Chain A
Amino acid sequence: MTGSVSACSGSDAMAPVLEVRGLTKRYTRGLLFRQETFRLTADLTFDGSSIVGVMGPNGSGKTTLFELITGSNAPSTGSVRVMGRDIHKVKHRERDRLAIHYHQSYQVRRFRRTRPSFLMQAAGHDYPMVHLFDEPQFNTRDGYIGFMLDFFRKLRREGRLVFLCLHPNEPWHLELMEEVCEQTVFVQGGRVRTYHDFCSSLRDPDLRDYLGKLAPRDAK
């Protein structure tokens, strides 16, 4: 099991598990007159293991954020460090040894690479430290949810950082997140906000507005 994997070799044990500094990603259109169509900005630090719920409307930048954290998509500015290593300087094939993106419905976007892997660093890990679950298929009928939640807890016990991205549209989606998530990341219009307590994050007016009628009354 994952607990038997040698956790870290060649990385900074004192460094935060994940440090996102001054990260921006700009999308533009037009050749002569570049016009910005979308901008994502993020500054996040997670010092240790945790289970973090990620929410936000469709098109707000959640998947782009995950792609930037796992190094498949290059940032316009800023850096992403996992256990002290700049993931965008790690060999492409080894980036998922630091942070792995479990894509929704196995949809994987491919990005152009500008630097050959042989000029880059080794990951220094053989099992990912950051696990990003992008809208996993949850279904109350089959019971897999329970096994998935236990798996997230196991990863957390083993010192890993887990992101669980969900777009709540049923009361039990929020119930599930309340059960397992300790912290919240809320992405809206390309802006990324972190709340270090999941329950208190539900008092944020913007998050409540996003949740609509699912927002718990007693969290006001």
Chain B
Amino acid sequence: MALFEARGIHKRFGQQVVLEHVDLSFEAGRLSGIMGPNGAGKTTCFNVLTGRHRPDRGRVTLDGEDITGLSPDAIARRGIARSFQVMSLFDENTALDNLIVALPEVRARGFDMFRRLSADDAAADRASAVLARVGLAGLERRRAGDLAYGERRALEIGIALASRPRLLFLDEPTSGLGSESTARLAELVQDLKRDHSVVVIEHDMQFLFALADTISVIHWGQVIANGTPDALRENAWVRRSALGGAA
């Protein structure tokens, strides 16, 4: 049984059908990719899978449990974390503080406005370990707003990782990154694959074809193709594209 499954997802905004009978399946321990051109419905799909939008029809299950229509926080409590295409960091706070507030034990006990977050040594140690994992060791005291764009992306992935998720969703992690930062991010995602189940939405096909175990292609709000990167490359039009040339 797949770790995460979506079956027959249909979603409409007013007169517009945005998702049409979407079936997706993500295996544990794999990196699954979702790609599609701009406006294809990728982020809407992510929002339905992670509880921000309730589907009009269809069913979403995590480890066999029906999580369709649960709120985003209820889904997060079951072990699904996500990053956002548009980053949402506390820019005035340090990278370490951004991570500490994302730790489940800190969130569970609430915050005290008169106490410095980093005064909790145990939480600070755990947050530092996550920062190191995403390649931000040494930047603990840097304001999030002062980090380079690629570092902010890594920090957001770290925040998602802080909840120790069973499944990590990354929404367009290369968005706005240059080629050097994209290469560093690819190394980070490659490293995460070792011990996490990851789903990545991307429009950067090169990035996804290099990393994913399986890829689902979304267009017109529908899954128009899926398979391994090698199987998808067999397509004659893919072979004659820039992607085929790079393969």
Tell me the A residues contacting B by CB distance below 8 Å: 1-2, 4-5, 92-93, 96, 100, 102, 106, 108, 126-127, 133, 137, 140-151
Q: Is the CB of B219 within 8 A of A140?
A: no
* Closest B residue by C-beta to A138: B237
Contact of A127 among B20, B225, B237 (CB under 8 A): B20
Interface segment out of the listed B104-112, B177-185, B238-246: B238-246
For the complex formed, measure the closest distance between the CB of A95 and the CB atoms of chain B, giving whole angstroms. 10
Binary CB contact string for chain B from 19 to 37 against chain A (1 if under 8 A, 0 otherwise):
0110100000000000011
For the complex formed, measure the closest distance between the CB of B216 and the CB atoms of chain A, giving whole angstroms. 10
Q: Is the CB of A141 within 8 A of B8?
A: no
Contact of B219 among A2, A92, A147 (CB under 8 A): A147
Q: Is the CB of B243 within 8 A of A142?
A: yes
Q: At the interface, yes or no: B39 with Cβ under 8 Å from chain A? A: yes
Residues of chain A with a CB closer than 8 A to B87's CB: none
A206 to B236, CA, bound (A): 32
A149 to B57, CA, bound (A): 27
Tell me the B residues contacting A by CB distance below 8 Å: 8, 15-17, 20-21, 23, 36-37, 39, 57, 205, 217, 219-220, 222-225, 232, 235-238, 240-244
Q: Is the CB of A1 within 8 A of B237?
A: no
A106 to B232, CA, bound (A): 27
What are 18 sample pairs from A and B whose C-beta atoms fall under 8 A apart? A1-B21, A106-B39, A108-B15, A126-B57, A127-B20, A133-B220, A140-B241, A142-B205, A143-B235, A143-B241, A143-B242, A143-B243, A146-B237, A146-B241, A147-B224, A150-B224, A151-B219, A151-B225
Q: Is the CB of B235 within 8 A of A147?
A: yes
Q: Is the CB of B205 within 8 A of A2?
A: no
Contact of A93 among B15, B205, B219 (CB under 8 A): B15
Q: Is the CB of A145 within 8 A of B237?
A: yes
Q: Is the CB of B220 within 8 A of A1?
A: no
Residues of chain A with a CB closer than 8 A to B20's CB: 127
Residues of chain A with a CB closer than 8 A to B235's CB: 143, 146-147, 150
Known A150-B224, A151-B222; contact A108-B236, beta-carbon cutoff 8 A: no
User: Apart from A127-B20, A140-B241, A143-B237, what 7 extra A-B contacts exist at CB < 8 Å?
Assistant: A5-B8, A100-B17, A126-B57, A143-B243, A144-B219, A146-B238, A147-B237
A121 to B20, CA, bound (A): 22
For the complex formed, measure the closest distance between the CB of B160 and the CB atoms of chain A, giving whole angstroms. 28
A102 to B219, CA, bound (A): 11
Q: Is the CB of B21 within 8 A of A127?
A: yes
A102 to B37, CA, bound (A): 14
For the complex formed, measure the closest distance between the CB of B194 and the CB atoms of chain A, giving whole angstroms. 29
Q: Is the CB of B220 within 8 A of A102?
A: yes
Residues of chain B with a CB closer than 8 A to A144's CB: 36-37, 217, 219
* Closest B residue by C-beta to A2: B21
A145 to B243, CA, bound (A): 12
Q: Is the CB of B244 within 8 A of A143?
A: yes
A146 to B23, CA, bound (A): 20
* Closest A residue by C-beta to B236: A146
* Closest A residue by C-beta to B223: A1
A41 to B205, CA, bound (A): 43
Known A93-B15, A143-B243; contact A149-B21, beta-carbon cutoff 8 A: no
Residues of chain B with a CB closer than 8 A to A5's CB: 8, 21
Q: Is the CB of B21 within 8 A of A137?
A: no
* Closest B residue by C-beta to A141: B242
Q: Is the CB of B217 within 8 A of A147?
A: yes
Residues of chain B with a CB closer than 8 A to A126's CB: 57
Most chain B CB atoms below 10 A, which of A92, A106, A133, A145: A145
